[in-house]
Structure 1
């Protein structure tokens, strides 16, 4: 009998990124992860909220067109759908002006949200959605129900608070940092940085974290599982933009991590390959099929650096 389809729930912001001189694009780190998980064959749901406005209706329509369920996206009659003004600098890095008091700042804890987590393999979340009390309280309720909590740190100044990050890490099974975020976290904790491995072990011990991912840009990605460390290189591609590259990396990682019997090599190859594939295209959620991605992955076989 075929194994059941793996399920994931992504919690938090769904929004429109407004780029200069372009039409709006669907965005929000948790949504980007849900999009790519869905493309990888995972049953991905989104717990979020949009306004009772045209932008909200457009978002829901976009999700339906992409076959991402909208059942757990609430419609808020008091607050608008989220928009973010995005700019891209000379290094192709994106910067965001994130409007406050939008629908996803007020995600309610519902019976339906809690029930879906009983049959879900992973709950993916970040810091941004926890900037306001109501959504933060909902998130902490859901973390108590979920069996596998995946925290994509994704720090967006000024929308985080160190105490909150610590509380979230104590509820986390897998944490993803980029290298700068890891060093910032160690600094917050008063821990001197010596080596990457030492910093990771410190965070594992401090928060009882078995799994940590460090994305290192052009220097690859490191996965720590208990006391084992796996370093994989990046794939050299022509970069179109870096928007959402970390989200696609995480989705690639989880798509194999949730698959029964996957090896670390399969997990990391999927993660690095999907991150590179999306970086070579425009936008965080470009149109592509699983077959498109598999062709790309097969062109660039990877070996662990250590």
Structure 2
């Protein structure tokens, strides 16, 4: 019998990142996750909104050229397609100027996205798309209909509300933080940082989450499932830029997480290897052949470390 194909929905921003020199690339954290999930053979649907304008038409055409589904992408006649001015610092880390009142701030509940959620194994979302009341309300409604929720915290100051983050965490099955976001979350909760183990246990107890990921840059990543802690190293690569590396890590993780019988080691190996592969490439959604990624993955073996 043929194994059931994994289906994932990603909710939130899809946009054009404008880099120095006028280079533009499709971006938005949830879309980056969707792109790499698609590359990994997952059936993925992006739930978002673009403007009825030339940037929106180009964006939709590009997504279709990748053979990705566009059923969940709404077209707004009243709000423009999102563009973000991106800059890179001396460490090749990206910084963003995110314009407000764009199409993805006004995502509506539709029959199409309700059907997408009903057919999906999981829903991925972040913080940014909840900055506006309409998209926030749509997100909460879709969360209620989802069977498994994944919150990629992805804090973009000043576009977040601590109360909304807490409400979302209470509805989250798996949360992903980077090290800085973990510290910020503890500060929001008035909790003193003692150790990663203590911090994760506190978050699990507070919000009732079974699974937590802490991405730690060059120091690897921590995956916690119930009371089991798995620490994995990064794969050393020559960094082109870090744009979307965390999103590709999450996509790699999820592409294995829902495979029947996949072990924590297999799940995390897929996560760290895809994250490293994209960090060694330029941009969040570079064109690549899956075969090239698999060659890279299979030539870099990693295993869990002791905390």
Task: Please say whether Structure 1 and Structure 2 have the same fold, judged by a TM-score greater than 0.5.
Answer: yes
Q: Give the C-alpha shift of residue 122 in structure 1.
A: 0.8
Instruction: Quote the Cα distance in structure 2 between the aligned partners of 1:290 and 1:260.
Output: 21
Does structure 1 residue 239 correspond to structure 2 residue 239? yes
1:144 counterpart residue number: 144
Instruction: Quote the Cα distance in structure 2 between the aligned partners of 1:303 and 1:263.
Output: 12
Does structure 1 residue 181 correspond to structure 2 residue 181? yes
1:190 counterpart residue number: 190
Instruction: Quote the Cα distance in structure 2 between the aligned partners of 1:22 and 1:229.
Output: 43
Instruction: Quote the Cα distance in structure 2 between the aligned partners of 1:17 and 1:258.
Output: 30
1:76 counterpart residue number: 76
Instruction: Quote the Cα distance in structure 1 between the aligned partners of 2:161 and 2:80.
Output: 24
Instruction: Quote the Cα distance in structure 2 between the aligned partners of 1:127 and 1:77.
Output: 25
2:39 counterpart residue number: 39
1:31-110 to 2 correspondences below 5 Å: 31-110=31-110
Instruction: Quote the Cα distance in structure 1 between the aligned partners of 2:35 and 2:82.
Output: 18
1:267 counterpart residue number: 267
Deviations 1:211-238 (A, max 9, x none): 0000000100000001000000000000
Q: Give the C-alpha shift of residue 118 in structure 1.
A: 1.2
Does structure 1 residue 118 correspond to structure 2 residue 118? yes
Q: Give the C-alpha shift of residue 22 in structure 1.
A: 3.8
Instruction: Quote the Cα distance in structure 1 between the aligned partners of 2:116 and 2:39.
Output: 20
Deviations 1:38-65 (A, max 9, x none): 0000001100000000000001001001
Gaps of 5+ in 1: none
* 8 Å contact from structure 2 (residues 50, 103) kept in 1: yes
Equivalenced residue count is 306
1:127 counterpart residue number: 127
Structure 1 runs of 4+ off > 3 angstroms?
none
Instruction: Quote the Cα distance in structure 1 between the aligned partners of 2:4 and 2:291.
Output: 21
Deviations 1:195-252 (A, max 9, x none): 0000000000000000000000010000000100000000000000000000000000
SS at 1:237's partner residue? Answer: coil
SS at 2:266's partner residue? Answer: helix
SS at 2:231's partner residue? Answer: strand
Instruction: Quote the Cα distance in structure 2 between the aligned partners of 1:234 and 1:288.
Output: 21
Q: Give the C-alpha shift of residue 71 in structure 1.
A: 1.0
Does structure 1 residue 6 correspond to structure 2 residue 25? no
SS at 2:284's partner residue? Answer: coil
- TM-score, normalised relative to structure 2: 0.99
Deviations 1:63-106 (A, max 9, x none): 00111111110000000000000010011110000000000000
C-alpha RMSD of the superposition:
0.6
Q: Which moved more, 1:16-25 or 1:162-171?
A: 16-25
SS at 1:177's partner residue? Answer: strand
SS at 2:97's partner residue? Answer: strand
2:218 counterpart residue number: 218
1:206 counterpart residue number: 206
Instruction: Quote the Cα distance in structure 2 between the aligned partners of 1:46 and 1:258.
Output: 18
Q: Which moved more, 1:127-136 or 1:289-298?
A: 289-298
SS at 1:21's partner residue? Answer: helix
1:163-174 to 2 correspondences below 5 Å: 163-174=163-174
Instruction: Quote the Cα distance in structure 1 between the aligned partners of 2:95 and 2:205.
Output: 33
Instruction: Quote the Cα distance in structure 1 between the aligned partners of 2:98 and 2:226.
Output: 36
Gaps of 5+ in 2: none
2:282 counterpart residue number: 282
- TM-score, normalised relative to structure 1: 0.99
